[in-house]
Structure 1
Amino acid sequence: MRISSFQFIQRNLDNISARTSQANTQLGQMSSGKRVEKPSDDPVSANGILNYKQELRKIDQYNTNINLAENRLRREETGLTSGENITQQVKELMLKANNPAITQNERDALKSELESRVNELLDIANSKDEFGQAIFGGFQTDSDPFTFDNQGNIVYNGDSGERQMVIGDSVKVELNHSGEHVFGSVPNPRGDFTVDYQLGNEPREDQVKVESATITDPGTFGDQKKYTVEFVGVTPADPDSEEVFYQVKDENDNVILPASPTDPQLSYQPGTPIAVDGLEIVVQGEAKVGDSIVLNSDVQDGTGQDDIGVFDVLNRAKEWLETDGHNPSGQSEMIDILDELDAMGGHFTRVRADTGNRMQRLDNQKETHAEMTLTLDKLRSGMEDLDYAKATGEFSQTMVALQATQTMFGKIQGMSLFNYI
């Protein structure tokens, strides 16, 4: 087959051009460090590389979410820690105020200090995150969740919602505890009722207190909003008898225990449960004839008031400071206040512990993402990154081939039959 000079020259020029292009591609790869710079370099690897990069970008977004969630939870944890400290400070304040030797000026100073602690706790309850959203407002984040009503009581305006953040595939973490839970759900140390003591002024060796008042039989519980336990003497009165009996009245002041006027009187024995209307009441201490204890509940659904509010506890402490609590009624109430403050501090601790658990979940998920990132980077690198040792050898081979082609083409191009005539 005859090959014309044009075909010969064109073929060699194409060969030189291909070698030059190959050398330029190899130089570009060595410059960028990437074996696959565009899909056409290796379509199969390019598709895998794209999938790995998408997974890595998703992990980056998850890590961003984790950082946001961590900041939010740290703010909440700080507030809860402050709540624990304030609770302890209030308890110490009340113990100091319970000294009958303090003056009225000292009592007023303690009351002023208590008001400062209440305002401090209110600021914590209305604290906001870095975006200006209320931490303890539930889903209602644009306004203060706790405000004063017309009667000067602190009320909650948020809801019970807990916001969530996606931190992994099918993994979410709650960003907050609602103010309803944190500041309105302190376990009632008395059970299902709050207590109002109406005791005589007679001195007693063992202070009267309600150990518990719990609903034991919801099926027969009458959901009375008020029960009154009255301590009475012998009927007919016996001047020589010192025995104390009790009776229980409902909210309409009707005697419901004993169930009938003809039933015998019930002798009061400290610590012995009083069972009435599906309710069990345990009273301790030395009760006197004429004493009475009123059990109250603001709950309307028949479950009893097993939770109390933080600001209700502090308000009760404030009211104690405003009156002379150095009497049997005041001392019994002081026992309740101290127990409620203990319950309040324990509640803050439990919520803070739950916040810590959520932060631990963030740390665990962050470690999972770090390990996955290393794995995906290694797989992506195996497909995309250049093996410099191999690439350098291939580039040297290409340059040798290019130089040989150029040299051979130059020599053959100069050959002509006229040179031999």
Structure 2
Amino acid sequence: MRVATSTIYSLGVSGLQKHLADQAKLQNQLSTGRRILTPADDPIASARALSVTQAQSKNEQYITNTDSADSALRMTESTLQQVTTLIQNVQQLAINAGNPTLTANEKSILETELQGRYQELLGLVNGTDGEGTYLFSGFRGDTKPFTETSFGNVTYNGDQGQRKVQISDSRAIPVSEAGSQVFQQIKNGNKTFATGANVANTGSGIISVGEVLDPTKWANAANVQDFRVEFYSIPDPADPTGDPIINYDIIDDRATLPDGSANPNYNFSMVDGYDYNGGARPVTPGVNPFPRTYTSGGDIEFRQLPGETTPLIAGWDFGVKASIEGTPKTGDTFSLDASTNRDVFTVLADLSTALKSYKTDGTGTGQATFQNQLNNVISNLSNSLDNVLTTQASIGSRMNETESVRSTNEDINLQYSQTLTKLQDLDWAQAISDFAQNQTLLEAARTSFSKVQGLSLFQYI
């Protein structure tokens, strides 16, 4: 067999180049710590590693988003905590104002403090996250949520949405609040109905917030949810100088029904059906014309009582009651209406009005009027606080969720890293062994090539 010199050279160079290429690859693997340097090294593992890397990148973004969401939620929660403290301070102020020993001037001093609390509240509800994004404007983070037209008259400029941050494939968590829901959509009274006293009352009657005995009965279709309790007082014929005989009536006080039609029972007595549209009840000397007897502190029940034989609605029972303490006079009226939405700014304005308008006349009338106003304010402050605390609890729940999701995402990230390690990372023992072996082969190839290239007949000429 004839072997040309060129063939020997070609085979030697080819072998050297192969070993050099293998050595370079092994050296590159050792320097990078990776088994796969190009997709050609392991197409299946390379494709799988690319998929895992993309999933890991997305998961790392979720972790970043979670941190951002948690920061925004903590800022909102901190602001609401300050609002909570402020409302509690105003509650304390209102309770202090109820002290009957305080003079009108001292109540005016409390009103000055209230003005400061009001301005502080406006600053809090217009708070930002530190980057200029408003916390309580819904979707509209660049819009100042509340603007004041006058004391107690505040307009909401945001919307009803919530900005959300994607923290996982299946969860976008809200990081903002609609300020109208937190600070304006607050039910007054006991959240089912609200009681009130006519400011023109001349007696010393003070009405309670009231109690719901049966929500289903209150929701009865026959219930207009708008009543007035009117009083009539006469001297006791048996003791003219003693306590008067005071009776009352419960009257349907809604003129227009929800559908816009006139209420046919408007101004009718619920107790015995008397029509006040035709004028006042006939008066008989020594006899109180109103149907129910009043006892200070006793329950005023909005239902048919035993012995009432001709009510406006047979067997009526609207499932609520209230009580009035003091001595109402003839013509004094108190209201009981379905709860409506109030806002915390108006509640503070109501307290301001009560403090500024307080007057004493030595009869207790001024104190009764003030106390009725104060009772409504205290009740509404409590409802405002409940609304804020409910929102705060919701934010706390979301903060717990972000913490849980972050922990889950970090665990997933670790799993991705472990998967990539199995797919890409180098087996160091094997690689070092291959490197040493290939180096030996390379040295042998070099040595053999140097000897083979000397096998020429020309050197013997």
**TM class, shorter-chain normalised?**
0.7 to 0.9
Structure 1 counterpart SS, 2:10:
helix
Distance 1:376 1:79 in 2: 38
Structure 2 residue corresponding to 1:273, chosen from 301, 308, 323 = 301
Q: 1:43 to 1:51 in 2, by over 3 A?
A: same
Query: What corresponds to 1:95 in structure 2?
Result: 95
Contact 2:207 2:334 in 1 (8 A): no
Query: What corresponds to 2:210 in structure 1?
Result: 211
1:167 corresponds to which letter in structure 2?
I
* Structure 1 residues 356-396: Cα deviation after superposition (integer angstroms, max 9, x where no partner): 10011000000001111111100101111112222111100
Contact 1:246 1:268 in 2 (8 A): no
Q: CA deviation at 1:259?
A: 5.0
Query: What corresponds to 2:335 in structure 1?
Result: 294
Query: What corresponds to 1:300 in structure 2?
Result: none
Query: What corresponds to 1:301 in structure 2?
Result: none
Does residue 451 of structure 2 align to residue 411 of structure 1? yes
Distance 1:91 1:161 in 2: 30
Contiguous gaps of at least 5 residues in structure 1: 297-303
Q: 1:142 to 1:100 in 2, by over 3 A?
A: same
Query: What corresponds to 1:260 in structure 2?
Result: 273
Distance 1:381 1:350 in 2: 47
Q: CA deviation at 1:87?
A: 0.8
Query: What corresponds to 2:415 in structure 1?
Result: 375
Moved more, 173-182 or 46-55: 173-182
Scaled by the length of structure 1, the TM-score of the pair is 0.88
* Structure 1 residues 132-174: Cα deviation after superposition (integer angstroms, max 9, x where no partner): 2221111233222111236861122222212222110111211
Contact 1:73 1:359 in 2 (8 A): yes
Contact 2:229 2:248 in 1 (8 A): no
Query: What corresponds to 1:242 in structure 2?
Result: 245
Does residue 185 of structure 2 align to residue 185 of structure 1? yes
Q: 1:289 to 1:210 in 2, by over 3 A?
A: farther
Moved more, 80-89 or 327-336: 327-336
Contiguous gaps of at least 5 residues in structure 2: 239-243, 256-265, 276-288, 304-312, 360-365
Q: CA deviation at 1:251?
A: 4.2
Distance 1:278 1:59 in 2: 60
Structure 1 counterpart SS, 2:325:
coil
Query: What corresponds to 1:299 in structure 2?
Result: none
Scaled by the length of structure 2, the TM-score of the pair is 0.81
Q: CA deviation at 1:36?
A: 1.1
Structure 2 counterpart SS, 1:363:
helix
Query: What corresponds to 1:313 in structure 2?
Result: 347
Distance 1:238 1:369 in 2: 80
Moved more, 16-25 or 252-261: 252-261
Contact 2:145 2:158 in 1 (8 A): yes
Q: CA deviation at 1:264?
A: 8.0
Distance 2:385 2:225 in 1: 29
Contact 1:210 1:281 in 2 (8 A): no
Distance 2:84 2:152 in 1: 24
Q: CA deviation at 1:86?
A: 0.2
Distance 1:203 1:228 in 2: 17
Contact 2:231 2:290 in 1 (8 A): no
> How large is the RMSD of aligned CA atoms in angstroms?
2.8
Q: Mapping of 1:377-396 within 5 angstroms?
A: 377-396=417-436
